[in-house]
Amino acid sequence: MLPEAQIEATQAALWYDAQRVGLGAEFLDELQLAVERIQTAPLEQGRLELYLGEQDIRRCLLRRFPYLVIYRVASDELVIVAVAHARRRPNFWVERIDD
């Protein structure tokens, strides 16, 4: 996970915890489940339609929260590029991709 993605996850968890104590931890648990799904079968998740570059960029929607885990699939690695709200700032993370 890129450091920027880790910061995004932490910020989202803090925001949710401010809404209701414990909700931030629930967000992080859901995020962990999504990461495990990605690690188990990275190609099962759909490609990110808004990304037009050369890399294989995919997204995994969290089941309970409106967040996407955006990740890059390469032959030898899997990199989580962003933890992004599904309805805000599309493609803000594009500069993190090495084309």
pLDDT at 54: 86
Query: Domains of the chain by range and CATH?
Result: 3-88 (3.30.2310.20)
- Three-state DSSP at 36 gives helix
Show the tokens assigned to 12.
């989202």
* Exposed / middle / buried, residue 59 (Cβ in 10 Å: 0-12, 13-18, 19+): buried
pLDDT at 96: 87
- The b/e string for 18-28 (b: 16+ C-beta within 10 A; e otherwise) is eeeeeebeebb
What is the Cα 35 distance to its own chain's centre? 8
Encode the chain (99 residues) as per-residue pLDDT tens digits.
999 999 999 999 999 999 999 999 999 999 999 999 999 999 999 998 878 888 899 999 999 999 999 999 987 789 999 999 998 887 778 888 864
pLDDT at 94: 81
Q: E strands, the chain, where? A: 56-61, 67-73, 78-85
pLDDT at 29: 98
